[in-house]
Amino acid sequence: MTTLYHNPRCSKSRQALQLLEEKNEDLTIIKYLDNPPTPAKLSELIALLGIAPIDLVRKNESIWKERYKGKQLTDSELVNAMVAHPKLIERPIAIKGFKAIIGRPPEKVLEILQ
């Protein structure tokens, strides 16, 4: 079972979903803009990715530039910002077992299947 944090309006996210479907992967799709993760869930996801919270932030989003850019935020504050504004979460994210990967480029999601 693979879980995909997905934004249907994002072409990269749609491409990643298509790649996983072509591999007949059993999928759970989480539309994270409609159902944002809790701070605990997002922290767990960041740990699975093996990255710092700042590395999951979409820094080109206007909400980031207007409210957060240039501020020294703690990891907890970054997580809370992404939960409050899920558009800030990089996408897509695929999870399988105890592995997670950001699908940038979309083909990277296939690495989760290995």
Residues marked as catalytic: 10
According to DSSP, the residues that pair with 100 across neighbouring strands are 95
CA atoms within 13 A on the CB side of 100: 21
Are 61 and 88 spatial neighbours (Cβ–Cβ below 8 Å)? yes
Supply 86's token pair.
């899920």
Burial class (CB in 10 A: 0-12, 13-18, 19+), 17: buried
